């Protein structure tokens, strides 16, 4: 048997490496087990590689309209193989950097499959490690649905699509969540034909209704075809029959219908489950004392930044007994592309039956947006009892703007207190200020008739 550790962590994604660093900062002895490469789905098959490609596609799209700004770039084209290689180079660089970062805190990393074989024991092929506390954070994988099983050639997952070195001309995307929307934007920006199907009655069904409506408008503007309340009924060769009776010819189908947990190997021990997910209490502890489950495997919220927050909170609970505060409605969600989409807090649907105010400020009213030619967006804010309870943004820099609202919500700030802050001009942050003014019909940049209607 090897050494005894204060904390053993299975999984080296955002949840795992954040927990390892936090625990080391707290003075715990930590061993982290990773069967593949550090960084988990986010770094290797999700956030980073996708956003790298997305940035390239946005750059290409913007260059094509550069003459509008008086800039002549000549004939603009792209080499997707170089984009692919750049994506791989960035992932590999960050893998190495992350490994060194975690090790710099004195964390021992064991690159091996690990099996939980008792409450306090983790086994690899060569050794057994005793751990006073164990955190499980083994992440997730693309979900599969019957009749649309990925084959790596025609029906692809979000993992598979990252391995393409050449893009097909015609793509059908099943699902309009974050993955489906971002890849629709990538393919469309790179001049490919895109069709999106969504089982719900609107695109991006997890978002506020006004965000869904704006996304539909953006899809139409970018010639992305979409069908809501629609599923794939039959596949014959490359011909796909939809439930609405339409037939689409496509080169690939991207199945973007969500993610399911990757459960750790276990022997002689089994925590309770809630459906497919490991069941935890409010402190992310399983029914087995000293055994915690964080990140995608507990099903609370499958986002990297949510996993990091859980990791820090759990380690603080282990070390200091500090109860975990986790409200998933206050975790920001972001969809990247041009313009970005972000939201935090409540939607109007969630506030049904509650007295609340709503303000929608059009980004087109900002001087900064007009100068940038980025006028197709909005900031929608919801308040109850003079406090911000929800915010929904379609706008350049939405991924940054949304945190202003998150801070307001988490700290219970009164709207009058927020309005004491001076927002720089010209900036997209002015939309935050104006949207809050609009709660009392006091926005400065919208004609009064539009505010009162």
User: What share of the chain in percent tops pLDDT 70?
Assistant: 98
* Beta carbons within 10 angstroms of residue 274's beta carbon: 10
- Please tell me whether residues 337 and 245 are part of one structural domain: no
**pLDDT score for 200:** 97
CATH of residue 359: 3.30.390.30
The whole-angstrom distance between residue 292's C-alpha and the CA centroid of its chain comes to: 23
Where is the domain boundary, 238, 255, 272?
255
**pLDDT score for 2:** 56
Residue 147 lies in a domain: no
Tens-digit pLDDT profile for residues 303-349: 999 999 999 999 999 999 999 999 988 999 999 999 999 999 999 99
Domain total for the chain? Answer: 3
**pLDDT score for 156:** 97
**pLDDT score for 426:** 97
CATH of residue 37: 3.50.50.60
- Please tell me whether residues 342 and 393 are part of one structural domain: yes
How far apart CA 55 and CA 401 sit, in angstroms, is: 19
Where is the domain boundary, 226, 255, 284?
255
Q: How far is CA 370 from CA 156, 218, 355, in A?
A: 39, 17, 35
Tens-digit pLDDT profile for residues 234-250: 999 999 999 999 999 99
**Once rounded to an integer, what is the mean pLDDT over residues 47-59?**
97
- Please tell me whether residues 54 and 129 are part of one structural domain: yes
Q: With bands split at pLDDT 50, 70 and 90, how would you rate the model's confidence at 147?
A: confident
**pLDDT score for 448:** 75
- Please tell me whether residues 18 and 136 are part of one structural domain: yes
**Once rounded to an integer, what is the mean pLDDT over residues 181-199?**
98
- Please tell me whether residues 99 and 185 are part of one structural domain: no
Residue 282 lies in a domain: yes
- Please tell me whether residues 214 and 106 are part of one structural domain: no
How far apart CA 87 and CA 339 sit, in angstroms, is: 22
SS3 62: helix
For every residue of 270-315, DSSP letters joined together read: ---EETTEEP--TTSB-SSTTEEE-GGGG-S---HHHHHHHHHHHH
**pLDDT score for 1:** 46
**Once rounded to an integer, what is the mean pLDDT over residues 160-188?**
97
- Please tell me whether residues 182 and 123 are part of one structural domain: no
> For the purposes of burial, counting CB atoms within 10 Å of the CB of 321, is it exposed (0-12), middle (13-18) or buried (19 or more)?
exposed
Tens-digit pLDDT profile for residues 421-430: 999 999 999 9
Question: In 3D, which of 177, 99, 197, 169 has the Cα closest to residue 334?
Answer: 177
> Above 80 in pLDDT, residue 451?
no
- Please tell me whether residues 431 and 365 are part of one structural domain: yes
- Please tell me whether residues 236 and 222 are part of one structural domain: yes
- Please tell me whether residues 201 and 111 are part of one structural domain: no
Residue 149 lies in a domain: no
Residue 148 lies in a domain: no
Which of the residue ranges 106-115, 225-234, 379-388, 440-449 would you say has the lowest mean pLDDT? 440-449
- Please tell me whether residues 210 and 321 are part of one structural domain: no
Residue labelled with tokens 């506390």: 133
Tens-digit pLDDT profile for residues 3-42: 799 999 999 999 999 999 999 999 999 999 999 999 999 9
How far apart CA 255 and CA 272 sit, in angstroms, is: 30
Question: In 3D, which of 377, 303, 381, 367 has the Cα closest to residue 338?
Answer: 377
**Once rounded to an integer, what is the mean pLDDT over residues 51-67?**
96
Tens-digit pLDDT profile for residues 435-447: 999 999 999 999 9
Q: Is the peptide bond before 390 cis (omega within 30 degrees of 0)?
A: no
Which pTM value belongs to this model?
0.95
Residue 358 lies in a domain: yes
- Please tell me whether residues 106 and 224 are part of one structural domain: no
> Above 80 in pLDDT, residue 453?
no
> Above 60 in pLDDT, residue 221?
yes
> Above 70 in pLDDT, residue 152?
yes
Where is the domain boundary, 326, 350, 376?
326
Cβ 84 vs Cβ 235: under 8 Å: no
Tens-digit pLDDT profile for residues 258-316: 999 999 999 999 999 999 999 999 999 999 999 999 999 999 999 999 999 999 999 99
Contacts of 101 (CB under 8 A, 6+ apart): 17, 21
Q: Which domain holds residue 221?
A: 155-255
**pLDDT score for 146:** 87
Task: Quote the mean pLDDT of the chain.
Answer: 96
Burial call 64-88: b when 16+ CB within 10 Å, e when fewer = eeeeeeeeeeeeeebeeeebbeebe
**Catalytic residue list:** 425
């Amino acid at each position: 048997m090897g050494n005894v550790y204060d904390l053993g962590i299975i999984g080296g994604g955002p949840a795992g490496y954040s927990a390892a660093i936090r625990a080391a900062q707290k003075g715990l002895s930590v061993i982290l087990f990773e069967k593949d490469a550090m960084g988990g789905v986010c770094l290797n098959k999700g956030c980073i590689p996708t956003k790298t490609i997305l940035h390239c596609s946005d750059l290409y799209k913007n260059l094509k309209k550069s003459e509008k700004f008086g800039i002549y770039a000549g004939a603009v084209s792209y080499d997707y193989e170089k984009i692919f290689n750049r994506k791989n180079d960035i992932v590999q660089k960050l893998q190495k950097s992350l490994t060194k970062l975690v090790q710099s805190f004195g964390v021992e990393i064991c690159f091996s499959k690990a099996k939980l074989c008792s409450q306090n024991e983790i086994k690899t092929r060569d050794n057994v490690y005793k751990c006073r506390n164990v955190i499980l954070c083994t992440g997730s994988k693309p979900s599969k649905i019957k009749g649309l099983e990925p084959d790596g050639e025609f029906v692809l997952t979000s993992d598979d699509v990252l391995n393409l070195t050449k893009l097909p001309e015609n793509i059908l995307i099943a699902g309009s969540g974050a993955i489906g929307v971002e890849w629709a934007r990538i393919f469309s920006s790179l001049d490919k034909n895109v069709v999106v199907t969504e089982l719900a009655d609107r695109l991006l069904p997890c978002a506020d209704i006004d965000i869904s409506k704006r996304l539909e408008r953006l899809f139409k503007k970018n010639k992305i075809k979409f069908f809501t309340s629609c599923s794939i009924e039959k596949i014959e060769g490359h011909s796909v029959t939809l439930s609405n009776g339409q037939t689409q010819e496509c080169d690939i189908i991207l199945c973007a219908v969500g993610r399911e947990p990757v459960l750790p190997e276990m022997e002689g021990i089994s925590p309770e489950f809630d459906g497919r997910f490991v069941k935890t209490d409010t402190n992310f502890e399983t029914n087995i004392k000293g055994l915690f489950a964080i990140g995608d495997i507990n099903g609370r919220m499958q986002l990297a930044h949510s996993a990091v927050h859980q990791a820090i909170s759990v380690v603080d609970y282990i070390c200091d007994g500090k109860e975990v505060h986790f409200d998933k409605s206050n975790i920001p969600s972001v969809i990247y592309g041009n313009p970005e989409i972000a939201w935090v807090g409540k939607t109007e649907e969630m506030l049904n039956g509650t007295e609340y105010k709503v303000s929608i400020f059009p980004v087109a009213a900002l001087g900064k947006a007009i100068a940038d030619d980025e006028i197709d967006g909005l900031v929608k804010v919801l308040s109850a009892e003079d406090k911000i309870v929800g915010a929904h943004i379609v706008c350049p820099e939405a991924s940054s703007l949304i945190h202003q609202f998150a801070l307001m919500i988490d700290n219970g700030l009164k709207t009058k207190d927020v309005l004491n802050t001076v927002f720089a001009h010209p900036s997209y942050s002015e939309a935050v200020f104006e949207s809050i003014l609009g709660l009392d019909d006091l926005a400065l940049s919208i004609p009064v008739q539009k505010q009162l209607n």
